[in-house]
Structure 1
Amino acid sequence: MVHRTSKARALVLFWKENFKLDVQTFSKYHINAKINQNTNEEWRFMGFYGEPDTNKRHESWNRLRRLKNRGSATWICVGDFSEITRKSEKIGGRIRPHNQMQPFLEMLDECRLIDLGFVGSDFTWHKHYPRYTVWERLDRVGAIDEWLLKFLDTKVYHLDVTTSDHKPLWIVLEGVVYTQQQPFRFEQMWITDKGCGATIEGVWKTNFDEPRVEKILRKIDMCGLELTQWSKKKFGSVRKELETKRKRLARAKRYARRGGDTSWLRTLEAKINSLMDKEAKMWRQRSRVAWLKDGDKNTRFFHTKVTQRRRRNSIKGLFDEAKQWCTNQNQIVDIDVNYYQQLFTSSNLDNLEEVLAKIP
């Protein structure tokens, strides 16, 4: 961790204990680490923060040029560069002068960093002003061509968030196995609802003609099933409302970027933050430290199911005829089928008999 020098800036790099990563150098503007050091699979990860002061921005570009030469391993650079590469990467506020962007472009070219693109919103940062909002793509991922050959199908996702003015970047690498634990737990937030106690009490009052131990185990299993169903119907409304509000927020952002009123956008952001506070206990419980502290002291029926899903090489999404990005598997299938049906369907046939007569 590189300690912050102000309330708004700090660099932190986390990795799992069994992950082969070695930090080489760091400063308040960067963290330079090697993955799989001294092996044939060695590569470098660079976390970078660009100088926010425009007058000092050239110092950032010179710093990255120097870091480029720290070793011969192929590398990727990720971070908030505090700069854009073209005028289309900004909406609102004053127009970015070309001579301010040009040094950034020259540095990217000298370092051979290729923009990996993105999936999601066009912008990664925004700031509200009394009469307008500024949107910019300040955060990006760049890599040299040798790195891209190792991870050719890498995808960068711009994730939505309402608690920060920057969007998180999620980088999915080809060839790296990702596992995700999806534990089922007794959620502490359920205790705030009377329906939770009533559901558990109803299960424990049920009689089963079985030996005592088997009876208890069966009731524990039933508690989990009944609470899951109850949560979906009753307590699950918080999550559904969050999903609905986030969809509305996406529409509000598109409207605001076209120069519309931002009051609706600000109201939705406030409501989403309020809903997220209601889920705070659940997310706090799911953090490892909080769970050890006070997670399992209220009930003994808790059990965990761990599922691991391997990332598959597949089509992640397609644009439909309305130019909407679709990631649902059923939608992708429908788009494929419709495309090839239209491709191989004949229309407005003329002189068909003449064509058939030429076939031997």
Structure 2
Amino acid sequence: MLSDCGMLEFPYTGDMLSWVGKRAGRVTVRCRLDRAVGNADWHEKFPHSKTKYMRLWGSYHRPILADILKKPSRRSRKFKFDKRWLDNEELRQVILEGWKSPDLPPNASIMEHISSCRKALSEWRRQNNINSAKLVEELKERVEGLYADDDATTEQIAAALKELSDALKAEEMFWKQKSRVFWLREGDRNTKFFHALTKQRRARNKITQLLGENGTIVEDEEGLVAIATSYFRQIFESTNPQDIKEALSEVPTTITEPMNESLTAPVTEWEIKLALFAMHPEKAPGPDGMTALFYQKFWDIVKDDLTLMVNKFLTEGIMPDGLNETNICLIPKTTKPSDMAQFRPISLCNVSYKIISKVQCQRLKKVLPGLISETQSAFVAGRQISDNIMIAQEMFPALRTKPSGRNKRMAIKTDMSKAYDRMEWSFIEARINATTRQEIKDVLGIQNDGGMGTYLGIPEDISGLKCKLFAYLKDKLMHRVNGWTGRWLSKGGKEVLIKSILLALPTYVMSTFLLPLEICENLASAIAQFWWSSNPPKRGIHWSKREKVFLPREEGGIGFRMIHEFNLALLAKQLWRLAQNPDSLVARVLRGRYYRLSSPLRVNSVNSLSYVWTSISAARELLLLGIRQKIHSGYKVKMWEDPWIPLNPARPAIPIAPVIHPNMRVSDLINQELKEWDVNLLEQYVSPDDIPLIRSLAISTTHRLDTFCWNFTRHGQ
């Protein structure tokens, strides 16, 4: 039959008897029922096609693995600390002997200790066959042999299956570590899920082709390496400027001598431990292969050498050879990157090196607010990247609508991808007029001057139909969902995935803008579809209404966040920040446009609102349900407008008669000499129901500024 159809069988390896069963319940029967075949065209296009008959396990049929591509040459694998080793009782002794080996010189550097420990671990792994994949195969073979042995007892088979289960658990741990999935902690056996994600990540990150200098497509490995090397050499290579001292002469000194002493003071063991244990234990390691988990688990062995290494660097400014080496990992920015600029380089540093930087960061936190400009949102506690987005969204409408903006001002968005690594600048003075605008665009690489790009990942132009503008959020979510192999996850795994990943995807945008209800509905629909489908992106049967699924657990739901309500909560948080930090840059910008002589909590009639302020204002009603003015001196709190009466929700005071003095402050009700409430004034102006509530409020004996507090938390934040 196969010959008549022109089909040719693939070459195969393994036991070709693919089925095993019992005849009459006693006689074992084995035969070949399964094979892989292809026609002549197939074999011409895929000449390396072959088949492997897998071992019997869990079924009477052998799985058949068809391999149609020639396997690429494999590079030697670099050492990486394996989490699976922690379950072995011998590991601590092996690490202790390797780290404190007598073969090390008396003043061995941290890198020499690491190298000695790596050699000891590698030798121990080879001698003891510490490889769960090999062990799984051996145990599967043993189980298969026991099933084929008529004399095998039930106890022997059960014991072998128990060993196999333990080995599979170790294999799951291995693939979880490689998949970089940190949101799924425990639950069902998810080895296939982690393995699928690892393969998917490798396929997505694998660079198969790039555009060369002349626009030709380069696919061979040597050509790809040459392009990448040339790209990074161009970025990092210095131009050897000769006037650095002259340029720095105008830069003011901001680090004082006391600051410098605190930054360079000897490091304590506690500081190093704090920095180390703040790292994620399973993040990708640097070139030495040691993860943060290694140092955390064996802190008692490595702490002295780590402390010595950090202090030696701070006093002498010298690092051991190899300490600051990094692996550059290229993460694609687009689905199909074609040149090096479409990859985001990430430096994978050695953990020992990151300890130095983290210790310095901990110390710098205390002085950074005075060093970094208020226009920079990064590195300083309390500042958020959303501040820059909101300020930009206020600037663009002004440039378009105000006469001064149209005629006298311009905005330039520059590509700062090289700025942190190439701090060599040449400044050219040019008059900004119509004759030079195109020249400047050519020099700076500006693609357009119409504001249709993105800024910090957000569309620059928010005008127009909002549903069309934010439709990309659903596409992004669906792309993420369809990229996952959801069929490998249980309902519990899906629940964790949705709560920790899917619902977090639109958070960045929702922190600044109010999404249209249609977009919220589309996002909720996509999440519900993923929840009910057993094989995304195919649609599953929805066994319950979506509204019930999104209810809190105590009300019978799963506890997924309601998209619209979550959006309002995030915007209310921005309004809270404006009220709590009135002197921040973003608060000053918004106050100058919308509530110059008022408060962000009050409704003010202003023309030409930006979508940022419209979005934030939509959350005002929600915030007023829990916010309250906390009285200290009362000078800034308006008695009849601000929410300061301690109720849920807080509200302004109720007048006993029509308001005669609309601008009265709470301080007007306080006896400033005695620092207590003036009962006569309270009875004269305030409703009797409010008087006991007001008298229950403590008054500050100093001239502290009034603040805001949150009614629903004990600490008021």
TM-score normalised by length of structure 2: 0.22
Please state which structure has a larger fraction of its residues in strand: 1
Higher helix share: 2
Relative contact order (alpha carbons < 8 A, sep ≥ 6): 1 or 2 greater? 1
Question: TM-score, with normalisation over the residues of structure 1?
Answer: 0.40
